[in-house]
Amino acid sequence: MSTPTYMDYSATTPVDKRVAEKMMKYLTMDGDFGNPASNSHYYGWQADDAVKKARKQVADLIGADPKEIVWTSGATESNNLAIKGIAHFYHKKGKRIITLKTEHKAVLDTCRQLEREGYEVDYLDPMPNGLLDLNVLKTAIREDTILVSIMHVNNEIGVIQDIEAIGNLCRQSKVFFHVDAAQSAGKVDINLSELPVDLMSFSAHKIYGPKGMGALYVQRKPRIRLEAQMHGGGHERGMRSGTLATHQIVGMGEAFAIAQAEMGEENIKIRALRDRLLAGFDGMEEVVINGDMDARIPGNLNISFNYVEGESLMMAINKIAVSSGSACTSSSLEPSYVLRALGLTDELAHSSIRFTIGRYTTEQDVDMAIDLVREKVQKLRDLSPLWDMFKEGIDISKIEWAAH
Amino acid sequence: MAYGEKVMDHYENPRNVGVLDKDAKNVGTGMVGAPACGDVMRLQIQVNDDGIIEEAKFKTYGCGSAIASSSLLTEWVKGKTLDEAALIKNTDIAEELALPPVKVHCSVLAEDAIKAAIQDIKDKA
């Protein structure tokens, strides 16, 4: 069997070969394998140089100072460190946090944990297009609110929040602002020297770097303090202890440097492919795009094929690797909470497919996906009692179904 | 979700897809599940003068297991009396298709569907 065509770049990306080649030079005896913290000998110095270079590469892509980068194991850890770190350090200022219902679980579940510790969290509803209404945020900020955490780009629907406007609001209200940028770095311009953002989380594996590697931007001027979550040798200015994984760090640095050099052109190419995919579905009935189409990263298309269940559609189109908001693809049997937060019916959430296009997607891939999806959606609709009812003009929302 | 061979076979070549005249006296229709839960099954059976199920058709909105469960069910009920068909248990379906635990509810739905279809015929008599 030939392997399926990968169209799930928001889940993870392959490591760019140029990145992997760099990483391999920091592992073996003939490479720079040293501990960057060994400041007394050659091996340590070599590794430390590599880490310094990577720190600058990451900082350069996002307009930060290298000293503002804290290495972590990934965006999940960065989100934990940012949110718990602020909450614990500044708890005397207040114990209230604001976030969005469509955030990644790494943010939502961290907030849940803080609730168990006695903090209060406001989970804001996004607008139906997935974007945050600034007025809703404005009303939610209270005297005792210490932190707002809003993601830059949503992992499921790809919508881009206006973090500048949100950040300005936070600054006015003297509230810390954390942004989960796992899905935006390398896709959307980020200039932290101008953006009113205090903390920002990054991941390497979403932009062709290695898994298990991330970073947290912690603003220095004015200085943001965090309570460490990982204690030990005091690495990363005490904010995150643990021996630095040189090869992983070098990989993340290289990935960010490549993104900086190529993202302009790459975005144009990827957007053209995404638009080609969308145009390929023209004329299909009962197709709904989830999330705002304008404020959206180029590579994302989240689309519901009504009256077709997402998991069976994924099975039918298994020549392409995509993801679905269908309950059946999750262990919880709940449909996507992100799509539900947009106000989608459960049916539409069950019927959603997320295509995410990236660096190695070709026109042939897209054309193949279009033909496959069109054929299989038709096949499954021919099999669907709901499609029959729709065709007979029966409004299925008016029927009393027995939930099970 | 990686499925077994039997599920894939029924999913890719579903048996007895279609519609029978729901108003006919000898046709029973069972529609179970809910769109919000991600699966809806419509099973129809047609009984001959000897009380034997001579035809069965289904349409299902749902995951691969739900489609396979209903497809298998239509094969099983054909040639049975209503009483015999009523004895089909979800566990038989789950076992035949080797459904993973998280998908057992699909076989429960299939059992509900045949029960509902039988009830529909009885209500018409």
Cα separations in angstroms, A83 against A95, A225, B44: 12, 11, 55
d(CA B61, CA B14): 13
Kindly list the catalytic residues of B. 37, 106
pLDDT in tens, A263-282: 999 999 999 999 999 999 99
Contact A350 B35 (CB under 8 A): yes
Q: What pLDDT, on the 0 to 100 scale, is given for residue A1?
A: 62
Q: What is the mean pLDDT of residues B29-37?
A: 90
- The answer to whether the CB atoms of B35 and A327 lie below 8 A apart is no
Asked casually if ipTM beats, i.e. exceeds, 0.85, the reply is yes
Cα–Cα distance, A214 to A98 (Å, whole number)? 23
Percent over 90 (pLDDT), chain B = 83
Of B33, B38, B59, the CB nearest to A326: B38
Nearest CA in chain A to B63: A312
- Residue B86 confidence (pLDDT): 95
Evaluate if residue A135 carries a pLDDT over 60.
yes
Residue pair A350/A327 in contact (Cβ under 8 Å)? The answer is: yes
- Per-residue pLDDT at A253: 98
pLDDT of residue B3: 78
Give the pLDDT score at A324: 84
Please give the helix or strand (H or E) that residue A353 lies within, else none.
strand A352-356
Count Cβ atoms below 10 Å from residue A30 Cβ, excluding itself: 7
**Looking at the DSSP assignment, which residues form a beta bridge with residue A123?**
A99
Show residues of chain A in contact with B66, CB under 8 Å: 309, 312
- Look up residue A122 and give its two tokens: 């406001």
* A74-92 pLDDT, tens digit each: 999 999 999 999 999 999 9
* Minimum CA–CA partner of A344 in chain B: B36
- Per the CB < 8 A criterion, the answer to whether A190 and A165 are in contact is no
Cα-atom radius of gyration of chain B, to the nearest Å? Answer: 14
Q: Residue A111 above 90 pLDDT?
A: yes
Handedness of CA A215, A220, A224, A227 (dihedral sign): positive
Residue A400 has pLDDT above 90, yes or no: no
In this predicted structure, the answer to whether residue A208 has a pLDDT above a threshold of 80 is: yes
Cβ-defined contact of B34 to A327 (cutoff 8 Å): no
Closest CA to B41 of B118, B99, B111, B122: B111
pLDDT confidence of residue A213 = 98
Does the distance separating the beta carbons of A396 and B63 come in below 8 Å? no
Q: How far is B67 from chain A (nearest CA, A)?
A: 8
B1:A385 CB<8 A = no
Question: What is the C-alpha to C-alpha distance for residues A119 and A113, in angstroms, rounded to an integer?
Answer: 9
Whether A383 and B60 lie within 8 Å, measured CB to CB? yes
Spell out which chain A residues touch chain B, with contact meaning CB-CB distance below 8 angstroms: 307-309, 311-312, 315, 326-329, 331, 333, 335, 345-347, 350, 382-388, 396, 401-404
**pLDDT at residue B123, as a whole number:** 93
Phi and psi at A137, nearest 5°, equal: -65, -45
Structure pTM? Answer: 0.92
Q: Please report the beta strands in A135-294, taking only residues with DSSP state E, as ranges in sequence order.
A: 145-149, 176-180, 199-203, 214-218, 287-289
Report the SS3 class of residue B124. helix
- Residue A328 falls in the annotated catalytic set: yes
CA–CA min distance A304, chain B (Å): 13
Chain A's closest residue to B101, CA to CA, is A331
Kindly indicate the confidence band of residue A225, based on its pLDDT and cuts at 50, 70 and 90.
very high
CB under 8 Å to A88, separation ≥6 — which residues? A227
Per-residue confidence band for B37, with pLDDT thresholds at 50, 70 and 90 = confident
Average pLDDT of the residues in A143-158: 97
The number of beta carbons lying within 10 Å of the beta carbon of residue A369 is 25
**E-state strands within A50-164:** 69-72, 96-100, 120-124, 145-149
CB–CB of B102 and A331 under 8 A?
Answer: yes
Report, as an integer, the average pLDDT of B82-110: 93
Please state the rounded mean pLDDT for residues A33-46: 97
Helix axes A246-280, A42-62, angle to 10 degrees: 30
Q: What is the mean pLDDT of chain A?
A: 95
Distance CA A401, CA A66 (A): 57
Tell me which of A308, A309, A348, A387 to substitute to probe the interface with B (most B C-beta atoms closer than 10 Å): A309
Task: Pull the structure tokens for residue A309.
Answer: 């269940």
The top-scoring range by mean pLDDT among A306-310, A355-359, B94-98 is: A355-359
Check if the beta carbon of residue A304 is closer than 8 Å to that of residue A349: yes
Report chain A residues whose CB lies below 8 A from the CB of B109.
404
Which tokens go with A74?
Answer: 């990934």
Q: What is the pLDDT of residues A344-389, one digit of tens each?
A: 988 888 889 999 999 999 999 999 999 999 999 999 999 999 999 9
CA distance B72 to chain A (A): 14
* Mean pLDDT, range A307-323, rounded to an integer: 91
Region A159-181: what's the mean pLDDT?
98
Query: Could you tell me which residues are beta bridge partners of residue A179?
Result: A200
| Per-residue model confidence as pLDDT tens digits over B104-118 | 889 999 999 999 999
Say which amino acid occupies A326.
S
Residue A328 pLDDT > 60, yes or no? no
Residue B35 has pLDDT above 90, yes or no: no
pLDDT at A327 over 80: no
Query: Is the Cβ pair B102, A333 closer than 8 Å?
Result: yes
Q: Element (H or E) spanning A112, and its range?
A: helix A105-116
Query: CA A166 to CA A149: how far, in whole Å?
Result: 10
CB of B125 within 8 Å of a chain A CB? The answer is no
Calculate how close chain A gets to B31, using CA atoms only, in Å.
Answer: 9
Per-residue confidence (pLDDT) for residue B40, from 0 to 100: 94
Q: Is the pLDDT of residue A241 over 90?
A: yes
**Counting one residue from A and one from B, how many pairs have CB atoms under 8 Å apart?**
89
Token readout for A8 is 């799930």
Is B40 part of the contact surface with chain A (CB cutoff 8 Å)?
yes
> Cα–Cα distance between A147 and B48 in angstroms, integer?
70
Short-list A401, A390, A398, A377, CA closest to B109: A401
State the pLDDT at residue A297: 98
Closest to B67 in 3D by CA, of A347, A180, A380: A380
Which residues of chain A make contact with B34, given a CB cutoff of 8 A? 401-404
Residue A330 has pLDDT above 70, yes or no: no
Chain B residues touching residue A344 (CB < 8 angstroms): none
Select from A311, A388, A403 the Cβ nearest to the Cβ of B36.
Answer: A403
Q: Which residue of A has its CA nearest to B40?
A: A385
Q: Could B35 and A384 be called an inter-chain contact, meaning their C-beta atoms sit closer than 8 Å? A: no
Instruction: For residue B124, name the pLDDT band (cuts at 50, 70, 90).
Output: confident
Model pLDDT, residue A311: 86
